Chains A and B, each alone.
Chain A
Amino acid sequence: MNQAPPQGSIRSVLATDCGSTTTKAILIEKTADGWRQTWRGEAPTTVEAPFEDVTRGVLNAAMEVQELSGRELVRDGNIRIPDEDGQGVDMYISTSSAGGGLQLVVGGVVRSMTAESAMRAALGAGAIVMDAFATNDKRKPFEQIERIRQLRPDMILLAGGIDGGTKKHVMALAEMVAAARPRTRLGGGFNLPIIFAGNQEVAEPIEELLGTVSDLQVVENVRPVMERENLGPARDKIHDLFMEHVMAQAPGYDKLMSWVGVPIMPTPGAVGLIMQTIAERKNINVVGVDIGGATTDVFSVFDGTFNRTVSANLGMSYSVSNVLAEAGLPSILRWVPFPIDEKGLRNRIGNKMIRPTTIPETLEELKIEQAIAREALRLAFIQHKEFAVELRGVQQERTIADAFRQSGSGDTLVKMAKLDLIVGSGGVLSHAPRRTQSMRMMIDAFEPEWVTEIAVDSIFMMPHLGVLSTVDQEAATEVFERDCIIYLGSCVAPTGEYKPGRPALKVELAMPDGPQTHTMNEGQLLKIELEHEPGVQATITPLQGDLDVGAGPGKALTTTLRGGVVGLVFDTRGRPIQIPEDGRDRVSLLESWVQAMDEYPTREGA
């Protein structure tokens, strides 16, 4: 690895993200105007045959930036470092999800307790969890062993037992892993890394059992006591092993590792870092989503607690047919604002799966693709809410009232009414022809309640900024605010009973060009153009006693609302959003929403 220059001395950075299909490079420069992202380029990733060398794709993407910027970035097949009179860069950094990213198998004694903690540690480190084993899952031991053999992960994270707790069950789990003799995904003559982060009292027998058949690493327990998780040490170890073992085995990564100034991070790990930074700096609750071709990552930070999930088979190209399989055709069709032949739609989706790099040329195709995106996002978010929960297994004092409530421990941490900001990333959101389309896709999928700001990553640079933040927080923050995040606006949506057609809201806005008053019925969308700063003073009054916009049922809310490139969106369509089942009614209602948002060009037959 190249020596990272001291913080403050860096003037230019080349950052790449080596994705499974495309390597994206951006140039970040300290200009007279402060830190800016100035140029970008991309090229196909070259991990696979015939090239089998990731650095080819990196150099191609860097060359594109070089041609555009006039700054020499590539010399003699290397990244030119340092920056000499505007040629070369002071530092090169990278993230990677090429070759399927980092794939882990996790294990714990109880599925909903230590196995879940292990899963959180793995996901937080940016991994895809291929399977989670527990002594209480429904599979028989020989079935579990067979499965571990088939999976061929990059590493295994084994938790189980609180410190001083069960030993026997943890050992049973380890014996199962030993019997499977798991092998690494990328082959090679090295042992599979196994991280033990369970009951520290069995660390020694675990070492005896697994030390000879694997590269065993023992770290602090992810769940030292029932009431608390300690995910940091396991996450850090995953990152170390990602560099030492996984990356070192992937084609060309030895060279790539020698170029970078700081360790290569798994792409979702870097995005997670940025999400946490936003939440921390602004002291807000954030939900972030990165919808890709194969997978959709969802991140959340609520009251300081970070969670990440990856929906491995929900995406817009490679996995698009899986969205159809999981959501079902009626769920996708309910968002399509025109009548369509169902068999034809299935074939179109199938064709996108087998030719994943195509783009929607016609307006009709774009609308279908955005309908699918809503469902992919919605399903990924449901999975996230189910995973981002309070710790299960914690003893709680209960009152009589609680006894009638089945939840308590294990409640989701994602409370929509407490959510301040949604940040979207990924092609279908970042590259939608109109920003209103991105905003509506996110509103429809996430169904924010009360007042929520919505933003997108302009050109997918959050991973790059995530790594940059580990060396220069100031540069990362400046570029994030000025070039990365695009505020679309705020969504205001009441909660409460939905009865279509009855009066829902009175909206009074002290707009810069004079006051405005709007009255809305239930089942409507209203868009008002407004810039992000300085915001506008607003009074929103529910017109029904059971509707709530954040001040209590039936009570008026006076607050400052911020717009963005889209503006303010008032949404009285109910939560969950109510759409008629009848085809004609549905199409006409969807059409009215499209018009209210000025979402698509108006064209006959489109």
Chain B
Amino acid sequence: MAAIFTPGLTVTEHHLIHKTRQLPLEGEVQVKVGDMVQADDVVARTELPGKVFPVNVANQLGVDPARLKSHMLVKIGDSVEKDQKIAETPGFWGFFASEATAIVSGTVESISVVTGMVIIQAAPIPVEIDAYINGRVVDVIPGEGCVVQNQATMVQGIFGLGGETRGEIAMAASTPDEVIGPQHITAEHRGKVVIGGAYVTIEGLRKAVEVGAAALVTGGFDYDEIKELLGYEVGVAITGGEDLGTTLVVTEGFGQIGMAPATFELLQKKVGQRASVNGATQIRAGVIRPELVVTFDDEEVPNELIADPEPQGIKVGDLIRGIRAPWFGRIGTVKDLPVQPIVVDSETTVRVLEVDFGDGETAPLPRSNVERIER
């Protein structure tokens, strides 16, 4: 059967999910294959090397760098305390003596007889990573981390801000077309994953931050409000490190666009359940989309209900959404996949698919301008 391969966003009630939890550099893995873990459990830890502080000790002492070692009171590898004397010159009969002290507590990393520089490395910084989702450890990457697996409901967004968080799902919108403003956000949303509708105003998002909401999921958001929010423009979509206080997940795109009804209904079904959310987005090599995950911890999901995580091509009968003007945000069903390319309004020659929008309207859409709604 004819199919085309255009990346889509996953919105699936039953999905077999694998989360790789990896340290930024080698460390100690705390779990083993087969372990059951909770989202908050630490699965690996390491220590990042502390900051290094170079000090020109030869200059401070007023000696030739070549003779620095004879004036040093410590050697490479020694631990030193802040303000500890690390080098000195005797002076003449007690006069004109000089000394150098450690500017930070740490370990002596190097002593240079060419430049006269002594480098002290501060204490290492401990780093831990948690499991992010409840599930079973199915693989261990020695020294780096593990893979946690579970059956889950998975909703991928198109763009996000802020990192990993967790909270109970609560609705702020009653329909997928509702615009969320500050009046929709209350103190009850503290610590919650709040579900909006078509659009959230910047005031609405600020109120979510103010009440301490864990995350806010919305159909659309204005691109220029990001600058207003962060103080800088996001020129390249690589996010996740923003310190907003509330993670933002945009499911459809920039502007006022109704959340896809299937997404909204699925999230509505999960109200009261605990979700893991991540706003991290990377739209370059190694695409990362923001996501919301609700694991099935107690119920066993029949195998036939679990979606195949392999990306599927678009086929006749599939549900798609338009992702570029003039069809941006419109949802329809694929009627046909004609082989011959056509010339569209911009005079560009493209391959298309015929889409039925369900309201009597059908149109050919460029294949690269649609996204399969993966269910």
Instruction: Report yes or no: A360 in contact with B222, Cβ–Cβ below 8 A.
Output: no
Residue B368, interface by CB 8 Å: yes
Q: How far apart sit A179 and B106, CA to CA, in the bound complex (Å)? A: 14
Nearest neighbor of A342 in chain B, beta-carbon distance = B224
Residue of B nearest to A146 (CB): B51
A364 to B324, CA, bound (A): 12
B350: interface (CB < 8 Å): yes
What chain A residues lie within 8 Å of B366 (beta carbons)? 358-359, 361
- B301 in the interface (beta carbon within 8 A): no
Kindly list chain A residues whose C-beta atoms are within 8 Å of the C-beta of B340. Answer: none
Q: Is B233 an interface residue (CB 8 A)?
A: yes
Closest chain B residue to A606, Cβ basis: B345
Q: Decide if B89 is an interface residue (CB 8 Å cutoff).
A: no
Asked if A433 contacts B348 (CB within 8 A), the reply is yes
Residues of A within 8 A of B325 (CB): 348, 361-362, 364-365
Contacts of A171 in B (CB 8 A): 112, 114-115
Query: How long is the Cα–Cα vector from A351 to B344 in the complex, in angstroms?
Result: 20
A20 within 8 A of B: yes
A361 with B112: in contact, given A318-B237, A319-B236 (CB under 8 Å)? Answer: no
Of all chain A residues, which has the CB nearest B226? A350
State whether A355 and B323 are in contact (beta carbons under 8 Å apart), knowing that A322-B236, A361-B345 are contacts in the complex. yes
Q: State whether A175 touches B117 (Cβ < 8 A).
A: yes
Tell me the B316-349 residues at the A interface (CB within 8 Å): 323-328, 344-349
Q: Chain A residues near B365 (CB, 8 Å)?
A: 361
Bound together, the chains give a CA A175 to CA B115 distance in angstroms of 9
Q: Does B285 contact A (CB under 8 A)?
A: yes
Which one of B7, B115, B286 has the highest number of Cβ atoms from chain A below 10 Å of its Cβ?
Answer: B115
At the interface, yes or no: A176 with Cβ under 8 Å from chain B? yes
User: B53 contacts which chain A residues (CB < 8 A)?
Assistant: 142
Residue of A nearest to B20 (CB): A49
Neighbouring A residues of B36 by C-beta, 8 Å:
none
Instruction: Give the residue of A20, A142, A355, A601 whose beta carbon is less than 8 angstroms from that of B284.
Output: A20
Chain A residue with minimal CB distance to B53?
A: A142
Whole-angstrom CA separation of A149 from B24 in the bound complex: 12
Asked whether any CB of chain B lies closer than 8 Å to the CB of A321, the reply is: yes
Which residues of A are found within 8 Å of B323, using beta-carbon distances?
351, 355, 358
Instruction: Chain B residues near A346: list those with CB within 8 A.
Output: 222-224, 254
* Chain B residues with CB below 8 A from A601, complex form: 347
| Contact in complex: A361, B255 (CB < 8 Å) | no
Chain A residue at minimum C-beta to C-beta distance from B227: A325
With A47-B285, A347-B223, A355-B371 known to touch, is A322 a contact of B112 (CB < 8 Å)? no
CB atoms of A48 and B255 under 8 A apart = no
Q: Is B231 an interface residue (CB 8 A)?
A: no
Report Cα–Cα, A183/B26, bound state, in Å: 12
Contact, CB under 8 Å: A350 / B254: yes
**Cα–Cα, bound, A176→B328 (Å):** 51
Task: Encode B188-229 as 1/0 by CB contact (under 8 A) with A.
Answer: 000000000000000000000000000000000011100000
B47 contacts the other chain (CB 8 A): no
Task: Indicate with 1 or 0, residue by residue over A90-132, a CB within 8 angstroms of chain B CB atoms.
Answer: 0000000011100000000000000000000000000000000
Q: Which residues of the other chain, A, contact B224 by a CB distance below 8 angstroms? A: 343, 346-347
* Cβ contacts under 8 Å, B109 to chain A: 179
Distance, CA A505 to CA B7, complexed state (A): 53
Report A35 CB to chain B, min CB distance, Å.
Answer: 27
CA distance A431 to B341 in the complex (A): 15
Is residue B158 within 8 Å, beta carbon to beta carbon, of the partner chain?
yes
Minimum C-beta distance from B141 to chain A (A): 11
> Is B285 a contact partner of A365 (Cβ separation < 8 A)?
no
Interface status of B235 (Cβ within 8 A of chain A): yes
Interface residues of A in 315-337 (CB under 8 A from B): 318-319, 321-326
Q: Which B223-275 residues sit within 8 Å CB-CB of chain A?
A: 223-224, 233-237, 253-255
Interface flag for B38 (CB, 8 Å) = no
Interface residue? A469 (CB, 8 A):
no
B300 within 8 A of A: no
CB distance from A317 to the nearest CB of B (A): 9
Contacts of B368 in A (CB 8 A): 357-359
Decide yes or no: A48 and B222 within 8 Å by CB, A326-B235, A366-B346 being known contacts. no
- Docked CA distance A362–B327 (Å): 10
Q: Is A176 in contact with B54, judged by CB distance below 8 angstroms?
A: yes
Expressed in whole angstroms, the Cα–Cα distance for A361 and B112 within the complex equals 63
Return chain B residues, CB-CB under 8 Å to A344.
255
Contact present for A361 and B344 (CB under 8 Å): yes
**Chain B nearest CB: distance from A63 CB in Å?**
14
Contact partner of A351 among B51, B254, B281, CB < 8 A?
B254
A181-B49, A313-B236, A359-B324 in contact; A347/B114 too (CB < 8 A)? no
Check A354 against B284 for contact (C-beta < 8 Å): no
Cβ distance A353 to chain B, nearest Cβ, rounded Å = 5
Contact B25 A359 (CB under 8 A): no
Residues on the B chain within 8 Å of A178, using CB: 110
Write the nearest CB–CB distance from B41 to chain A, whole angstroms. 25
B127 within 8 A of A: no
Residue contact B346 to A354, C-beta cutoff 8 Å: no
Interface contact B25-A183, CB-CB below 8 Å: yes
Tell me the complex Cα distance, A20–B236, Å: 15
A362 touches B237 (CB 8 A): no
Minimum CB–CB distance from B121 to chain A (whole Å) comes to 8
Q: Are B114 and A205 within 8 A (Cβ)?
A: yes
A365:B223 contact, CB within 8 angstroms: no
Chain B residues with CB under 8 A of A179? 52, 54, 109-110, 119, 121
B369 at the interface (CB under 8 A from A): yes
- Interface hits, B109-127 → A, CB 8 Å: 109-110, 112, 114-115, 117, 119, 121
B73 within 8 A of A: no
B350 touches A350 (CB 8 A): no
A361 near B235: Cβ-Cβ < 8 Å: no
Would A343 and B158 count as touching, CB distance under 8 A?
Answer: no
Query: Which residue in chain A gives the minimum CB-CB distance to B253?
Result: A351
B237 touches which one: A47, A48, A180, A354 (CB < 8 A)?
Answer: A354
Kindly identify, within residues 143 to 173 of chain B, every residue whose CB is under 8 Å from any CB belonging to chain A. 158-159
- In the bound complex, residues from chain B placing their C-beta under 8 Å from that of A99 are 285
Decide: B235 and A366 in contact? CB cutoff 8 A.
Answer: no
Contact partner of B223 (CB less than 8 A), chosen from A49, A98, A141, A321, is: A321
Most buried by A among B7, B54, B281: B54
| A145 and B345 form a contact (CB under 8 A) | no
How many Å lie between the Cα of A601 and that of B343 in the bound state? 13
Known A-B contacts A142-B51, A175-B115, A324-B233; A48 and B286 likewise in contact (beta carbons under 8 Å): yes
By a CB distance below 8 angstroms, the chain B residues around A180 are 52
A208 to chain B: closest CB distance in Å?
A: 10
- Please report the C-alpha to C-alpha distance between residue A178 and residue B119 in the assembled complex, in whole angstroms: 10
Cβ contacts under 8 Å, B237 to chain A: 318, 321, 353-354
Q: How far is the CB of A331 from chain B (nearest CB, A)?
A: 14
Looking across the interface, which residue of chain B has its beta carbon closest to that of A433?
B347
Which residues B86-123 have CB closer than 8 A to chain A?
109-110, 112, 114-115, 117, 119, 121
Chain B residue with Cβ nearest A369? B346
List chain B residues, Cβ under 8 A from A361: 324-327, 344-346, 348, 350, 365-366, 369
Chain B contacts with A in 131-146, Cβ cutoff 8 A: none
Q: Which 7 A-B pairs have the closest CB atoms?
A: A322-B235, A350-B223, A433-B347, A350-B254, A366-B346, A325-B233, A347-B254
B contact residues vs A (CB 8 Å cutoff):
5-7, 25, 49, 51-54, 65, 109-110, 112, 114-115, 117, 119, 121, 158-159, 222-224, 233-237, 253-255, 281, 283-287, 310, 323-328, 344-350, 365-366, 368-369, 371
24 contacts between A and B (CB under 8 A): A44-B5, A47-B285, A99-B285, A100-B285, A145-B54, A168-B65, A171-B112, A172-B115, A175-B112, A176-B54, A179-B110, A321-B237, A322-B236, A343-B224, A346-B224, A347-B253, A350-B253, A354-B158, A355-B324, A359-B369, A361-B344, A361-B365, A362-B325, A433-B348
Additional 13 contacts, C-beta under 8 A, given A313-B235, A324-B233, A431-B348: A99-B285, A145-B52, A149-B49, A171-B114, A175-B115, A179-B54, A347-B222, A347-B253, A347-B254, A358-B369, A361-B326, A361-B365, A366-B347
